[in-house]
């Protein structure tokens, strides 16, 4: 295949990655489903929120395993399996609502969809890092931008779908929440789109580099100097990056898990109708989710210029300040602006860390090295939402600020590890 054809191919793979991540990112609109499920079935806050916690926990673990599979079986296989599992899990979640079964919801949305999401999430990242050594930050930001923006579409569309499919009896009592039919429709969409996008994935030819690109030692570790997973986890910098990712995700996921209800609390004095209030909360979630996506692209692009470490320093510092201020905010506009910025930083951590890891440990084994690092996502998926479910929102926001201050200290202390010594042939 000629150089021009390879150049076109890598951009087609990037487009497929964005489409796949848009579908997978709809998982972040969980909060618009949580309220109807609680109302319909009488499930408690923590019991219902556990679904999201299981899902995020499984995503991180399956991303680690998926990263190993990507290096062994190739990206198309792993992404196809991910698309099938994510679609089937969403269909099972719809059945769980229809049956009123919380265990089935845990299994469908939490376990099966979470497995598929993790396989699908890690594959385009590992693949694009290999195809774009010249635009590592930008292209990984572009891919995971889709993941952040996925909640925008679901946050805008799902509340209206849920309301339109709601069923009431003659006495006006709700007998079907509308969540089941919404998930059935989306489950089919995910099966088709994610598995179709997966068919475009390929690894570049061994040793291939874009025309006119020469790797710079100042920008990161070369393929020849790459550490494997066993070597990477032996240096403290791998664990520092793990901790930074965990702390950033914990704060962001906690906020995401409660953003729609928090927005409704701010709006409650101005909107009396519960349905209109739910739609308004979903709208704020949708707007903030746009910035979750845009922040992934912006911060990753900026990291190509000012460096990955500096990006994390700025994000940790500014977020900590805003989490402390957020409980005092009563303005709808100001609340929305702050939420948009916080989710932009949350997404920015996801987008910048793959390039950070590749710069530090090399691109050759990035599927394993970064995939395993995504176990931080699993841990944060439990810690962040649990903190926001168990504590009063003001206390939870202050605790999130504390986590971000710890992350700031790690970022300030971080220095890239010494390059791996390569023996001369």
pLDDT digits (tens, 9 = 90+) for 16-31: 998 999 999 899 788 7
Residue written as token pair 């793959």: 354
What does the pLDDT look like over 308-337, one tens digit per residue?
Answer: 999 999 999 999 999 999 888 878 889 889
pLDDT above 70 for 423: no
- Report whether 132 contacts 125 (CB < 8 A): no
- Give just the sign of the alpha carbon dihedral 279, 180, 250, 414: negative
* DSSP secondary structure letter of residue 185: H
Asked whether 260 and 285 are in contact (CB, 8 A), the reply is yes
Please work out, in degrees rounded to the nearest 5, the angle formed at the alpha carbon of residue 282 by the alpha carbons of 401 and 97. 105
At 285, list the tokens: 């979630």
- Asked if residue 1 has pLDDT above 70, the reply is no
Residue 235 scores a pLDDT above 90: yes
Separation between Cα atoms, residue 130 and residue 202, nearest integer Å:
10
Q: How many CA atoms lie within 13 A of 335 on its CB side?
A: 20
Tokens read off for 109 = 């949305």
Please name the residue that has the structure tokens 């998982």. 27
pLDDT score of 81 more than 60? yes
- Range among 32-46, 144-158, 236-250, 297-311 rated most confident: 236-250
pLDDT in tens, 387-412: 887 777 778 899 999 999 999 999 99
Q: With 70 as the cut, is the pLDDT of residue 164 above it?
A: yes
- Name the most confidently modeled range: 87-91, 226-230, 262-266, 374-378: 87-91
- Break the chain into its structural domains and give their ranges: 3-205+227-413
pLDDT of residue 242 exceeding 50: yes
Which three-class secondary structure state does DSSP give residue 54? helix
pLDDT of residue 280: 76
Q: Is residue 425 predicted with pLDDT exceeding 60?
A: no
Selecting from 3.10.20.340, 3.40.50.12780, 1.20.1250.20, 3.40.50.720, what CATH number does the domain 3-205+227-413 have?
Answer: 1.20.1250.20
pLDDT tier at 424, thresholds 50, 70, 90: very low
The string of pLDDT tens digits covering residues 169-205 is 666 665 667 899 999 999 999 999 999 999 999 888 8
**How far is residue 82's CA from residue 105's CA, in Å, rounded to a whole number?**
19
CB atoms within 10 A of CB 186: 21
| Residue with the larger pLDDT of the pair 143 and 114 | 114
Q: Which residue has the higher pLDDT, 108 or 146?
A: 108
Dihedral pair phi/psi, residue 175, rounded to 5°: -110, -15
């Amino acid at each position: 295949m000629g150089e021009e054809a390879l150049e076109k191919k890598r951009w087609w793979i990037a487009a497929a990655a964005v489409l796949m991540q848009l579908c997978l990112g709809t998982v972040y609109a969980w909060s618009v489903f949580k309220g109807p499920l609680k109302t319909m079935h009488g499930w408690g806050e923590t019991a219902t929120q556990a679904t999201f916690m299981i899902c995020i926990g499984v995503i991180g673990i399956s991303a680690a395993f998926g990263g190993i599979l990507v290096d062994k079986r190739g990206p198309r296989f792993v992404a196809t399996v991910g698309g099938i599992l994510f679609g089937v899990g969403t269909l099972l979640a719809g059945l769980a609502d229809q049956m009123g079964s919380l265990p089935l919801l845990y299994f469908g949305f939490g376990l099966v969809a979470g497995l598929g999401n993790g396989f699908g999430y890690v594959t385009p990242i590992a693949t694009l890092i290999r195809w774009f050594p010249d635009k590592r930050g930008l292209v990984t930001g572009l891919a995971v931008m889709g993941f952040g923006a996925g909640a925008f579409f679901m946050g805008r569309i799902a509340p209206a779908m849920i309301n339109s499919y709601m069923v009431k009896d003659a006495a006006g009592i709700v007998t079907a929440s509308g969540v089941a039919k919404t998930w059935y429709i989306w489950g089919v969409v995910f099966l088709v789109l994610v598995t179709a996008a997966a068919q475009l994935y390929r690894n570049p030819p061994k040793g291939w580099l874009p025309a006119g690109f020469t790797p710079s030692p100042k920008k990161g570790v070369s393929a020849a100097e790459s550490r494997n997973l066993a070597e990477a986890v032996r240096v403290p910098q791998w664990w520092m990056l793990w901790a930074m990712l965990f702390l950033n995700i914990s704060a962001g996921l906690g906020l995401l898990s409660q953003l729609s209800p928090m927005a409704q609390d701010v709006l409650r004095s101005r909107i009396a109708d519960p349905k209109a209030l739910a739609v308004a909360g979903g709208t704020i979630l949708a707007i903030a989710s746009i910035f979750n996506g845009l922040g992934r692209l912006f911060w990753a692009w900026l990291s190509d210029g000012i460096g990955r470490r500096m990006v994390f320093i700025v994000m940790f510092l500014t977020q900590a300040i805003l989490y402390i201020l957020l409980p005092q905010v009563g303005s709808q506009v100001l609340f929305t602006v702050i939420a948009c910025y916080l989710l932009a930083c949350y997404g920015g951590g996801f987008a910048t860390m793959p390039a950070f890891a590749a710069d530090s440990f090399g691109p050759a084994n990035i599927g394993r090295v970064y995939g395993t690092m995504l176990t931080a996502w699993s841990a944060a998926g439990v810690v962040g939402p649990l903190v926001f479910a168990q504590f009063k929102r003001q206390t939870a926001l202050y605790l999130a600020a504390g986590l971000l201050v710890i992350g700031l200290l790690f970022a300030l202390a971080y220095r890239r590890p010494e390059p791996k010594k390569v023996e001369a042939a």
